Structure 1
């Protein structure tokens, strides 16, 4: 192994990314290379990498054929806990192999990013998971699209999976938190992430059907109609919310 390898700690990330690109062809990182990567990870060399360089390699890895391999290689060489401590325990989870196969089934990199974080933080309370997502995204200076998707999945998966048991107010809260009325174009992307997370957790759910049902229930209630009925000011807002809650409460979910 060339001494030049040890002169650039970014190569730890690049080797992991190349492994993610070629794993499906049978490529595996050689043990001597892993040993050198472990040596680099054991010191403080990785601490000198800029957030931009770390994110660039992570972002590229998310787009590779086997993005889970990127996480696995970094875990094996000890770099994961230094570079991405929020994900450090994920490869040790019993369901990790299953999750690694689900990641490539998401088409977009920001969706894969959101699934990784939601899986890693799914046992945390919502506020704690949100804080971890914010911390990682701020540290890595990741794009807003990635941060927002991860936050929506981390905050929304519990209420979505429990939707049949929730009352109208809680259902409305989920729809508002996901901004379904103003941004229905995101439903497909959100549903894809929620479904992959549900598969990993062993939850039976049709996320798109639930999100579309919520959107449909709320889109049929228009403020202008209430205004024509004589509502205005605070009374208009109160009546709008009451009808939205009522519409959400009436929804039935028979798919699980």
Structure 2
């Protein structure tokens, strides 16, 4: 059997990156011969098999022919006559169109190694334009490989613009867009994903809620970078620096969507943006079927990130209200995610990247103070029903007030 290691495994091996999974292409075989060797077929649209021992994926070499719009509109041809080079030609980028044989020899018909060395993301052939998903994939690879200095080749960017102009990108399914977005959020430099999409025009088509933030000014006192779109990507960058958690990164990305709806005559101020952004956030999450957990956290961060920054100014009663609204007394993990996203917002400003954020420690101390109050003593006093809830709230306010005094005195 002629089997070749292909795609990301070859690319990442040459870059010295961890190889997470290995995919193989098989030349000269048929589905029947693969099954005869003990391989288990799993592919629905084209012949893919699992190795009987390693369970790695082995796909028969294939070619594709475009017959309909979108990333599903292809007819696949796989038989023993398809060569390795023909299989590699259908791939998106040259750095993903390399293979290795059993002896570790590199097969590189399209100059992938040279582009790897020059840190270039370049399409393999003009057939690149046939699959609109490749626009998102290139942007995602830019986000993944940006720390290594990779950039999109100008001619590839030109093809991506052409694909957007042709409307091909509008045929992408919500599930695939979210899949690429989530993987981009997990990348080392997720902001690069949106920079590339903006440059080719895809951001405006897929994520208009984010695109409309660019060019919207903010008060220079609090935002030296001024532009809300730039601040949004800076916030996403800070979130990526703080945590690998994609829920936090998504909340950081969407926290200021309301500023895109502020009437221009009110610029650079954005009063009420915390609630104004709830509708576009819901529309974004609904459009791409984004999981509810992402939506819930993003909503909390959108509503309360400004309150998080201003904790020293808030009354104890307001602090208790915010803690309850965040469900912070029951969900510590969710509360920590909220603090990380809010911190990313505070640091995602020009020249503010290394500033301390003591507000996070204040909120943790105030949460502990609120948690120290329990209902047991109130029940022992004979209180019942709603009276317990009112008394519990007042006791928590007193505990938070005392904790805040200690924090202000530097003894908390």
Q: TM-score of the superposition, structure 2-length normalised? A: 0.58
Is the CA contact (8 Å cut-off) linking 2:191 and 2:234 kept in structure 1?
no
Q: Show CA shifts across 1:90-129 (max 9, x none).
A: 5663546744542421221111111111145465522212
Q: Give the counterpart of 2:392 among 237, 240, 246.
A: 240
Aligned length: 255
Structure 2 alignment gaps of length 5 or more: 1-122, 216-226, 260-269
The alignment status of 1:171 with 2:319, answered yes or no, reads yes
Match of 2:298 in 1: 150
- Report how far residue 244 of structure 1 moved: 2.0
- Give the alignment partner of residue 116 of structure 1, picking from 240, 245, 253: 253
Distance 1:190 1:96, change over 3 A: closer
Which is richer in helix?
A: 1
Mapped to 2, the partners of 1:96 and 1:127 lie a distance apart of: 17
Which position in structure 2 is the counterpart of 1:160? 308
The corresponding residue for 1:212 is 364
Which is greater in Rg?
Answer: 2
- Name the structure 2 match of 1:135: 283
Q: Relative to 1, partners in 2 of residues 1:151 and 1:41: Cα closer, same or farther, differing over 3 Å?
A: same
Q: Are 1:63 and 2:199 an aligned pair?
A: no
SS for the counterpart of 1:190 is helix
* Higher RCO (C-alpha 8 Å, min separation 6): 1
1:6 aligns to 2:129 (yes or no): yes
Q: Report the counterpart of residue 16 of structure 1 in structure 2.
A: 139
* 1:36 aligned partner: 159
Deviation of 1:52 after TM superposition, in Å, equals: 0.2
After superposition, the Cα gap between the structure-2 partners of 1:103 and 1:33, relative to the gap in structure 1 and judged at 3 Å, is farther
Shift of residue 206, structure 1, vs aligned partner: 2.2
CA shift at 1:230, angstroms? 1.9
Query: Are the equivalent residues in 1 in contact too, given 2:232–2:253 (CA < 8 A)?
Result: no
- Deviates further, 122-131 or 76-85: 122-131
Partner residue, 1:104: 240
Q: For residues 164-213 of structure 1, give each alpha carbon's deviation from its aligned partner in whole angstroms, at most 9, with x where no partner exists.
A: 21222211111011111111233332222211111124586324312212
Moved more, 231-240 or 243-252: 243-252
Matched, 1:197 2:345: yes
